[in-house]
Amino acid sequence: MGVVVIDGSTVRSFVADEEQFKKSVEERFAALDLNNDGVLSRSELRKAFESMRLLESHFGVDVVTPQDELTSLYDSIFEKFDTDQSGSVDLEEFRSEMKKIVLAIADGLGSCPITMALDDGDDNFLKKAADLEASKLEKKAS
Ligand SMILES: [Ca+2]
């Protein structure tokens, strides 16, 4: 268990670093594409959000959401991602929606830093953003 401190600008600079963001999204996409068919199905995308815990937990604080409410929430998320309504989400669709979501998180954080508790081995976008910020600060300090 580790702790990171991030704010909106941490998250925003993570997205602004196109190469880093693209790489993170591609890694995430590949990890989520469980049957390796190059697209994310409804259930694959749901697993994605379950693993990112963007919905069930609010910055590390567990919020209990009824199961049927979650299902309709995940359905509406899927419709959002699947912009061409093909019934699956491709890498392009995934990347553009993730960008919007991460930027929305950044707006939500504003300039108010939050502390996030992370499980060991946690690999989520906010942690990546924090890592990137930390590496920049190290460079500045050295
Ligand atoms: Ca798939």
| DSSP code for 97 | H
Rounded distance from Cα 15 to ligand 1 centre (Å): 25
CA distance 78 to 88: 8
Rounded distance from Cα 33 to ligand 1 centre (Å): 4
Q: How many residues does the chain have?
A: 142
Answer yes or no: are the C-beta atoms of 128 and 14 closer than 8 Å. Answer: yes
Rounded distance from Cα 129 to ligand 1 centre (Å): 26
CA distance 13 to 23: 15
Pick the CATH number of 2-141 from 1.10.238.10, 3.30.450.20, 3.40.190.150, 1.10.10.10: 1.10.238.10
Rounded distance from Cα 46 to ligand 1 centre (Å): 12
Which tens digit of pLDDT belongs to each residue from 37-94?
999 999 999 887 777 655 544 555 566 777 888 888 889 989 999 999 999 999 999 9
CA distance 117 to 119: 7
Please state which of the ranges 3-7, 39-43, 60-64, 105-109 shows the lowest mean pLDDT. Answer: 60-64
- Whether this model's pTM surpasses 0.75: no
Q: Domain segments of the chain: what residues? A: 2-141
